[in-house]
Amino acid sequence: MQRYALTVDKFLDHAAKWFSESEVVEASAGSASARSSYSQLRERSNCLSGALLDLGLQPGERVGTLAWNTLDHFTVYYAAMGVGLVCHTLNPRLVAEQLAAMIAEADDRVLAVSGSLLPLWDAVAAKCPSVEHVIVLDDGANRAGSTPRMWSIDQLLDQSDREAAWGQFDEDQPAGLCYTSGTTGQPKGVLYTHRSNYLHTLRLLQADAMAITSRDVVLAAVPMFHANGWGLPFAAPAVGATLVLPGRHLDGESLARLMREQSVTIAIGIQTVWLTVADHLERTGSSLPDLERVIIGGSSCPESLIRRMERILGARVQTSWGMTELSPLGTIMPAYEESQDNGSGRPPVGLDLKLTDAAGNELPQQRGQMGHLRVKGASVVDRYFMADEDPLDEDGYFDTGDLATIDEQGSLTICGRSKDLIKSGGEWINPAEIEAIVGRDPTVSLVAVISTPDDKWGERPLLVVQPRAGKDIDAQDLIGSLRGKIADWWIPERIARIASMPLAGSGKIDKNRLREDFAEGKILTDEIERQ
């Protein structure tokens, strides 16, 4: 008897059969520019599968994508994964040297590139000898006679009449490859299997998690090149929900227009995206009458910002926490519970958490105290690409590198990265606690605390802030907000105001970049007068 293998192609098969007229919508500059039913997408994706095989690709080989959230990118996802190829999503916000290194390490033979990103490909092509074919997506024109061979996706599809059999491989076959954002260290390649993606999708769809249904219109503002697009390219077809892909335009005005036009009910992405939407709505006095929920993640969010988003967006905000290594959902606050200051909710079934000391010993009391967070589950990474190290401990837990607490209701709060801790005079300072307090100030848009060298203490914290549009930051007021809430010796002596906080492709603040900029003298600081 043939076993039912947990392969991700079954999500699109299911949508094409049972929700054939439900759609995936692509937008440009805030308005729908193309749309396709799940049945049409299934046919197009399968045809592209045959074309990829005709190019000589074998199961297990990588197909790179350098693309935005579009119908063509969605098509490549299923075309590659359906026949056992590995979809290697690349972040176009990385510099050329980083992209070239990832393409070379993955040994990508085929690269699918959005037409608007061809100049970026041109910058890395000479360093990517493994790439034999480039497929140009999103109405981009191919360049005849180029090397490697360049095709438009429609040209490739027109030449293929081969029907491909999907899912003819083991569920433990790799399906995707995504590199970590590298905000605190070197990026690592995370391999996702079909089984891990399938089980992650079921976990994500639970009623106490994202709870997406066939009646929903889901806006995926999280990039498809970041951690499986948070699993939305699988979850939406799994339940027949309408999926809205915003392309490259993620400014507040474009997203607000798109959400009204398409009657979006659930919007998903990092908090900085929704803050720009809230700013636009507040400035114009407009609203989003169909929006019910906004799901945020990527970094902790002060309660004051949550309440502001809920008031202006007119929707419930669900906070979540995850990592590329978790596929990525870790914990999420249910829609019926009010999100708390920096709280990230409980893990859905399929994932377990535990807190340990620095040596990895489980804390005897798991509630109400801070520890090093470890996680275990079927969708947790069990190997990094091209690495010999085993990322799991002897009990199968993955060390997240986060410091966290779990309250009496089981809700997780991330308290910072262990690598971000600042050792000053032999004692530890936790930047996340300072950031949480300063982040509540209405004049502050983004905040980060980084370590800087100090002759006397070894390290001292530097407060880096990005003002909200049109607001002036008073350094003394910010420092005053810290007094009495943290130890006096934790309080920074210097502040830096910057126009734009550097962000990694995941949307998280890039502290590595901040430290580099400070070391190179690119960040100017002001001394804070002690009172």
Per-residue pLDDT tens digits for 35-49 = 999 999 999 999 999
Distance CA 508, CA 519 (A): 21
Do the domains at 17-404 and 420-527 have one common CATH topology? no
Contact between 286 and 256 under an 8 Å Cβ cutoff? The reply is yes
pTM of the model: 0.87
Give strand pairing partners of 356.
362, 372
Q: What pLDDT is attached to residue 183?
A: 52
DSSP string for residues in 227-252: GGGGGHHHHHHHHT-EEEE-BT--SH
Among 233-237, 305-309, 468-472, the range with the most confident prediction by mean pLDDT is: 233-237
Q: What is the pLDDT of residues 402-417, one digit of tens each?
A: 999 999 999 999 888 8
Of 403, 295, 409, 294, the closest CA to residue 346 belongs to 409
Q: Which residue has the tokens 């997408």?
A: 41
Q: At residue 185, does pLDDT exceed 60?
A: no
Q: What is the pLDDT of residues 72-101, one digit of tens each?
A: 999 999 999 999 999 999 999 888 888 999
DSSP string for residues in 137-197: ETTPPP-TT-SSEEEEHHHHHHT--PPPPTT-S-TTSEEEEEE---SSS---EEEEEHHHH
Q: Comparing 439 with 81, which gets the higher pLDDT?
A: 81
Q: At residue 210, does pLDDT exceed 90?
A: yes
Catalytic residues: 180, 325, 423, 428
Domain 420-527 is classified in which CATH homologous superfamily? ANL, C-terminal domain (3.30.300.30)
What are the domain boundaries of the chain? 17-404, 420-527
Q: Average pLDDT of 237-252?
A: 96
Domain 17-404 is classified in which CATH homologous superfamily? ANL, N-terminal domain (3.40.50.12780)
Q: Which helix (H) or strand (E) holds 365?
A: none
Q: At residue 456, does pLDDT exceed 70?
A: yes
Q: What is the pLDDT of residues 344-390, one digit of tens each?
A: 999 999 999 999 999 999 999 999 999 999 999 999 998 899 988 88
